[in-house]
Amino acid sequence: MEESTPAGPVSAPSPGTSRAAAGPIVAVLGLGEAGSEIAGGLVAAGATVRGYDPRVRPGPGLIACSSEAEASTGADLVLSVNSAHDALDALRAGVEALPPVAVWADLNTGSPRLKERLAALAADHRRSFADVALMSPVPGRGLRTPMLASGHGASGYSALLTPLGANIEVLQGAAGVAAARKLLRSVFYKGMAASAVEALAAARRTGQEQWLRAHISEELEQATAETLVRLETGTYRHARRRSEEMRAAAELLRDLGIAPHMSAASAALLGDLLQTTADS
């Protein structure tokens, strides 16, 4: 991934300035579950927080703003926590109001390609951009939610928020690196969760939910590094037999009236492995 570099010198805000000593000014765009909890943590840590969300009223301690531009004016940092769908529009609406030394951080779960587009747009306006990935659910953690940050503005983002209690790991590389790491993990975790939901729904139809729930729990409790090796090598080694098994599982789910999304996808992946092996 190529990093977009601002067209001119852009310095990250320094925590040593008088403003930082008094607490940074942070604009939070998007006051849903994640945005509101992070904003509340920032207020508690001593930051001046401006909030904007056309659908949500700002909570206690936040300065209500009527637009992205108003919230961004004079801010040290903007946190875009609206949605991946709204990220580009939010940046377009607020970036020109952002001071040249400030950082625009996008905390939305989006693709690396989207983060690269956001970084390029920020660079066109000579502003620093940080790609930030939230690595665990925000409720209950707020500002202390583990975060990864990459891109030109990542170090500035960390310099502003780490003294306030934020948990940030700065990654080397361009905007998109943090997003890619989160999404790679999501392929496994969200896929595993979807498979568990599908399997339990089928077990419920056959009166075997409690048995399967206990079985899955036991497997998760006993998992080790060797479990991953066994899962990976066994999938390649037994692809033919397992593809037939998963086609049978998909047929069972259809007979039970359950769409076999994950079972059919597993059968398709195993079929692809067989084809790749045959072609090699």
Supply the pLDDT for residue 280: 52
pLDDT of 206-221, one tens digit each? 999 999 999 999 999 9
pLDDT of 237-263, one tens digit each? 999 999 999 999 999 999 999 999 999
Q: Please, where in the chain does CATH 1.10.1040 lie? A: 182-279
Average pLDDT over residues 91-116: 97
Tell me the fold of 182-279: N-(1-d-carboxylethyl)-l-norvaline Dehydrogenase; domain 2 (1.10.1040)
CB 158 within 8 A of CB 167: no
Answer whether residue 43 shows pLDDT above 70. yes
Q: Cα(48)–Cα(60) distance, rounded to whole angstroms?
A: 12
Answer whether residue 11 shows pLDDT above 50. no
pLDDT band at 83 (very low <50, low <70, confident <90, very high): very high
Q: Please, where in the chain does CATH 3.40.50.720 lie? A: 18-174
- Phi, psi (degrees; rounded to nearest 5) at 134: -85, 120
3-state helix, strand, coil in the chain (%, to 5): 55, 10, 35
Supply the pLDDT for residue 210: 98
The token duo for 68 is: 């992205």
Supply the pLDDT for residue 78: 98
Q: Cα(51)–Cα(66) distance, rounded to whole angstroms?
A: 9
Residue with tokens 């509101």: 36
Average pLDDT over residues 44-70: 96
pLDDT band at 279 (very low <50, low <70, confident <90, very high): low
Q: Is 127 helix (H, G, I), strand (E, B) or coil?
A: coil
Supply the pLDDT for residue 275: 85
- Phi, psi (degrees; rounded to nearest 5) at 223: -65, 140
- Higher per-residue confidence, 5 vs 188: 188
Answer whether residue 46 shows pLDDT above 80. yes
Q: Cα(221)–Cα(19) distance, rounded to whole angstroms?
A: 49
Average pLDDT over residues 136-151: 96
Answer whether residue 9 shows pLDDT above 80. no
Residue 93 Cα distances to 34, 117, 190, angstroms: 21, 15, 33
Q: What is the pTM of this model?
A: 0.86
Q: Cα(119)–Cα(179) distance, rounded to whole angstroms?
A: 13
pLDDT of 153-210, one tens digit each? 999 999 999 999 999 999 999 999 999 999 999 999 999 999 999 999 999 999 999 9
Mean pLDDT over the full length of the chain: 92
Answer whether residue 12 shows pLDDT above 60. no
Tell me the fold of 18-174: Rossmann fold (3.40.50)
Average pLDDT over residues 104-125: 98
Instruction: Work out the number of other CB atoms within 10 angstroms of the CB of residue 211.
Output: 11
Q: Cα(162)–Cα(200) distance, rounded to whole angstroms?
A: 41
Which of 97-106, 228-237, 254-263, 271-280 shows the lowest per-residue confidence on average (mean pLDDT)? 271-280
Average pLDDT over residues 5-18: 39
Supply the pLDDT for residue 278: 64
Nearest to 48 by CA among 31, 69, 62, 60: 62
Q: Cα(30)–Cα(110) distance, rounded to whole angstroms?
A: 15
Q: Cα(73)–Cα(66) distance, rounded to whole angstroms?
A: 12
Contacts of 18 (CB under 8 A, 6+ apart): none
Supply the pLDDT for residue 101: 95
